[in-house]
Chains A and B, each alone.
Chain A
Amino acid sequence: NTAEPVNDIEVYSINIDCKVTSRFAHNVITSRAINRASMSKEAMFKVDLPKTAFITNFSMVIDGKTYLGEIKEKEVAKKQYETAVKRGQTAGLVKASGRKTETFTVSVNIAAQSKVTFELVYEEMLKRNHGKYEMFIKVQPKTLVRNFQIEVEIHEPQGISFLDAEATFITNDLLPAVHKSFSAEKGYVSFKPTLDQQRSCATCSTTLLDGDFTVTYDVNRESAGNIQVVDGYFVHFFAPQKLAGVPKNVIYVIDKSGSMYGRKLEQTKEALLEILKDTAEHDHFNFVLFDNDIEVWKPSLVKATPENLKKARDFVRQITDGYTTNINDPVLKAVQLLDEANALNQIPERSVSLIVLLTDGEANIGETEPEKIQENVKKANQRGYTLYCLGFGYGVNYGFLEKMALENAGIARRIYEDSDAALQMKGFYTEIANPTLLDIKMEYPENAIANLTQNSFKHYFDGSEIVVAGRIIDNDLNVFSVDVKAEGADNLLKYSENVQLQDTDGVSKKQEYIFGDFTERLWAYLTIQQLLEKRVSADPSEKEKLKKQALDLSLKFKFVTPLTSMVVTKPDEIEEETLVADKFVEAQAPSNWVDSD
């Protein structure tokens, strides 16, 4: 969060206020500045927020007058934006910034000796990974700030099992400024450095606050699941502990085309060697390397015995770069290898089959039409193996990979071209390394609920969490129950949870101290995310329907999603200006060209 001083603008207060209730985070960033000059000056407000967050509000108070952001359908906002362009403003308040963040920036002219207050609100659902929730706050005030504070209040009805706060810029001098505590359901973190603590040296007027402030925590888990009901909405968190791992069958489909030459290929090999180190003996695996040709390591999947892992490491070490990129055939080959392994009973009956595709570019040989490749893979993958697509570097056609992954029950992830690319690949692997449940089906009282979010899942990975939410439509319901059925490592597992609805009043009241409608907002957030994801791989008629549903919810709950924009009107010396904040959407890198028509 920054509020940069431009000329004589003094930012005297930055307040980052985060309230988390049952994983749902509501963040308010307030920055106050004063123009100490004798003429009007420009004050800038700049915030890095997580890509997974939705902005819900923005306001500016200048000379006692409030300018509020208004959330509108993107097309409507676009028209307003075009008018803005004609008035000389080319606006775009949100841009991509880091790997995990997008930047919201606005600047405004304020009169001499006047004050301005900026306030940005955003919300997100914290996802559990490797056994913890992580909340990330970018801290970058640029100058010393008289009142700087971060306050995080957490309320988790299950009880907090641990809480930690770390900052990349922390020094011994700054340590006393960080407070963290938790007991039972409540957790609290604060960071309030004094002016002197902010100084990069005793006599410096520069700040050392520049980096990431991260809060991590987890909750107690007395049972596999937990149901919370507030104001007619329920949310069910499911994260069973201490289960045996289900064996997995993984085909690594690795791009070794010419563009992978050099560091990219070295990092890929480094990551594969690390992954092999962590492969459990009950797993099966194989490699399909590709450029314009396909090279399959072994004719069929092999068990991860120490001897096979050694051979695999030798194979990985000798991978060299090749020529062009044929994505279609190697992915189909991977499907075929898994089909054969199933048909010949070479892999355990209860096991997870995954294809991990890593590529840095577009297909430019063989089948090059992205739609055709997606169609071929979908058609071939009759058994529904999960396909994970890792897009390496800037030139990758991410939209193509994302759609292909989503159509095959997987996800796509970007691997950023940097010195830690091997770590990023390894990090992704560890997320999916330990499946403990398969084919999870969650059943709720059918006639008593509506608007249920996704309730069946292909896998559950150790350390993650499944979240399902919905609305209770039966006002007379006394007990709300859920049955979960899933395939475990050795047998079919069943879980049951129920909650007395009369009791939830108390819970509701307790939770209201944070903010009232969080369960409903969590439900809306989750529903919008799932609708947007489904839209990527839906057919055209379905797409429109999904878009409409997601748009209606985005407008109703005032979320800036890829379908909505926030229109911000700011004062100007001549006339008011209109700016538009859009949700940043991943796209291919732009290019410059010369051509003719």
Chain B
Amino acid sequence: DVSEQLTPVLLDGPREESLQLVSELQDSSCSCAVDVSTVWWEAAGCRELRVVTASESAVSLWEPLAPACWGKVYTWHLGEMPVIQIVPLPDTCNLVCVALGELEIGEIRLLLYSSETDSFKHSLVKTGNIKAVVGLKDRRLVSSSRTMQEQQVEMVSLSETGGSKDRQTLMPPEDTVTAFAEVEGLREALVGTTAGNSVVVWNLKTGQLLRKMHVGYSYPASICHRAYSDSGLLFVVLSHPLAKESESCGSPAFRVVAFNPCTGRSVGVMFSCLPPGCAGRQVPGGDVWDAVGAAVLTSGAVAVWDLLRGQFVAVLPPGPAGHWALARWAGGGAGLLAGRRDGTVHLYRY
């Protein structure tokens, strides 16, 4: 029965299983899991992918133990503000970034191991009314924050020891930035979405705001997840957690939109929708890796889409042990992490 419950249900005709359960970890001390992620960790000359789990008050680092088993290495206790999310830092080793706060992010901290003091520690990177944050390659962190008067968009370059090496201010758009996404193929470009439903593009080297392009009125409150520069176009993966169901498409989970940055014009390239008969809506906070999207639905299932084909690929149904609450892609193409509020995390190979 258990193996049957863990087998993903495929709704796209006969094909090989696209999700295979690899391993499971259970944080018995976790009262309410808020996020899960992975981090590359190097110790004693060995570099491996480790799992990071977060509850409101603590963040734990897990190392792989053979076979298909995980052991907790260390837990950082962060008592003053609740943890809201883990902020993945792509291609970065031995650094975990977390956002803490009440309803909004109030501070961003780095969690790390210090060889100088032979101890695990954490350091403060930024405080403020932070609206959005993203980790980029080469240990860079971009965030938007608001005061009563103005919006600040800032990139911080992080040192290996958890300090901030350099700070670059980016020109803010008029409306509040709600999400950021790095651009594959252009290291110095960054895109964001705004509360006014626009996509904005920055030059990270100069801080210039290069373009603001409206997404359109059909899909409000767009959130950007990934972007790809190809053939003179900017392809942006958007989710629309507040979009209404339409007759033509149903409930849209993700869209790939092609923007021409020269003219600001755009066309929708692909829709990824909840299939008919799949109950529930997407819970905000889906995750995209390469060209695959994952999201938790209000039914407690995790759904996976091939975003370039617009195909619903697999679903992890909620089991008797409880609803899925978290869905995150593991680093290095290691698969999909699905988590429950009780601290259970399953790693699936995709």
B partners with A: no
Q: Spell out B's residues near A (CB within 8 Å).
A: none
